[in-house]
């Protein structure tokens, strides 16, 4: 049976904290997880092993990670006011060995990340330096990166997004970059090549951008858009200087 706890919205921070404490107190059983839904319609719910009220306005969600057993630092902090529903659900069944990332051992062991980015950029008509800037910002080039929210790989795809894009193994650079580029392409099309809105949607989800008719007032999202655009500008300028220098040397 699934036990749900509806959180009225809008709601005072004090009541939200009380709700979070209630869910935390009911989650002592090792046979249940807490599924936390945020106010963004297309936001992926968080499956949590524990929910902890930090203060009057923030709640810490300790995320369930089947492929990172025993992890204690895999958590994310959210504004308590954004929590609209919490429900207790049974633990999912163990992940079959054949589906674990380790089963991809037969996949190529090495990749040329720059080549993968170049191919994805050409396929989707996206500037290579823009894709490189997103990879740099999202994961620092670490193909096995996992965020506190559960996003995975070089372009930090959430599991649900990866599935929608046909990405079977988000830790494989070729699949991750191909999926991330396809997703960014769809966002650029949706927002008529408005880069700032597309980047904001990549970070916070299209629903948040549509709701606020632009970059949502989330500090993380605003910082993300600014950083990617700054990195993109830096890379374009560096590429221009390199091309100019090559021309001079050639003559």
Element at 12 (helix H, strand E): none
Any catalytic annotation for residue 220?
Answer: no
Distance between CA atoms of residues 148 and 146, nearest Å = 7
- 61 phi and psi, to 5 degrees? -110, 115
Dihedral sign of CA atoms 213, 218, 219, 223 in order: negative
CA distances (Å), origin 136, targets 151, 190, 232: 15, 24, 10
- Residues 6 or more apart whose CB falls under 8 angstroms from that of 191 comprise 197, 198, 201, 209
From 138, 168, 220, 231, the catalytic residue: 138
Q: Which residues are catalytic?
A: 138
């Amino acid at each position: 049976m699934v036990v749900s706890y509806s959180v009225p919205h809008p709601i005072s921070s004090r009541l939200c904290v009380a709700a979070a404490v209630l869910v935390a107190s009911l989650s002592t059983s090792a046979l249940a997880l807490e599924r936390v839904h945020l106010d963004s319609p297309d936001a992926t719910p968080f499956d949590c092993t524990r929910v902890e009220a930090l203060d009057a306005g923030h709640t810490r969600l300790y995320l369930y990670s089947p492929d990172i057993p025993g992890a204690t630092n895999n958590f994310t902090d959210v504004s308590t006011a954004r929590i609209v529903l919490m429900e207790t659900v049974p633990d999912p069944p163990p992940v079959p060995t054949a589906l674990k990332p380790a089963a991809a051992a037969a996949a190529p062991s090495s990749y040329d990340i720059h080549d993968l980015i170049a191919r994805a950029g050409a396929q989707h008509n996206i500037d290579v330096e823009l894709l490189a800037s997103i990879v740099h910002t999202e994961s620092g080039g670490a193909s096995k990166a996992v965020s506190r929210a559960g996003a995975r790989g070089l372009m930090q795809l959430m599991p649900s997004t990866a599935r929608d894009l046909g990405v079977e193994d988000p830790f494989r650079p070729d699949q991750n970059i191909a999926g991330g580029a396809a997703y960014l392409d769809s966002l650029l099309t949706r927002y008529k090549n408005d880069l700032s809105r597309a980047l904001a949607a990549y970070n916070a989800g299209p629903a948040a951008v549509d709701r606020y008719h632009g970059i949502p007032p989330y500090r993380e999202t605003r910082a993300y858009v600014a950083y990617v655009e700054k990195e993109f500008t830096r890379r374009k300028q560096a590429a221009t200087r390199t091309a100019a220098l090559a021309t001079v040397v050639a003559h």
